[in-house]
Amino acid sequence: MAVRPILRFPDERLHTVARRVEHFDDALRQLVADMADTMYRAPGIGLAATQIDVHLRVIVIDVSETHDRLQVFINPEIIGEDGERRVSEEGCLSVPGIYEEVERPERVRVRAFDEHGKPFTLEASGLLAVCLQHEIDHLNGRVFVQYLSRLKQNRIRTRLLKQVREAA
């Protein structure tokens, strides 16, 4: 078990574009295990490596109600979008206590590799589709608040900086 600290917005490191994984080795599988521990502990339904300051294209997700269906996506790519655009409320472990509506495609087709280097494709809808897009954004250095107005972003920034000051 290794729970790692999660970066918080506004932190410049959250805007790093992650590199592709090239070696499907034990170090990668250790990273995946640590990310799962960190996500379940938080608790959250997804985590991108970016959030623990590791800038590799690795995502873990578990949208099951029983919290026992871990899904691992290495080098994920959205290869298709479908359906209407849907608004849903999002939160983020890197933006604690903030919940805002974001509009995204309802369904996405994703191609990725598992932690052993085996390729797969998956058609996602509902919460899984939202979460996958949210996590892939993290790998591209994008935090969900960047879809909001400048005014809202600045208010969120101020509120989170104040939380950190008051905790110190």
Residues that bind Ni ion (CB under 5 A): 92
Nearer to ligand GNR, 34 or 135 (CB): 135
Task: Choose among Ni ion, ligand GNR, none what residue 10 binds, the Cβ cut-off being 5 to 8 Å by kind.
Answer: none
Stretch that binds ligand GNR, among 9-17, 26-34, 47-55, 151-159 (CB under 6 A): 47-55
Evaluate whether 91 touches 45 at the Cβ level (below 8 Å).
no
Evaluate whether 33 touches 41 at the Cβ level (below 8 Å).
no
Tokens 């400048």 sit at which residue?
150
Residues 105-164 within binding reach of ligand GNR (CB under 6 A): 130-131, 134-135, 138
48 binds ligand GNR (CB under 6 A): yes
Task: Choose among Ni ion, ligand GNR, none what residue 130 binds, the Cβ cut-off being 5 to 8 Å by kind.
Answer: ligand GNR
Residues 1 and 136: their CA atoms lie apart, in Å, by 25
Question: Binding-site residue total for ligand GNR (CB under 6 A)?
Answer: 16
Catalytic annotation, pick one of 89, 101, 135, 166:
135
Nearer to ligand GNR, 17 or 117 (CB): 17
10 Å CB burial of residue 25 (0-12, 13-18, 19+) is exposed
In angstroms, what is the minimal distance from the CB of 36 to ligand GNR? 13
Please confirm, yes or no, whether 100 is among the known catalytic residues.
no
Give the residues lining the site for ligand GNR (CB under 6 A).
44-48, 51, 90-94, 130-131, 134-135, 138
Q: Catalogue the active-site residues.
A: 135
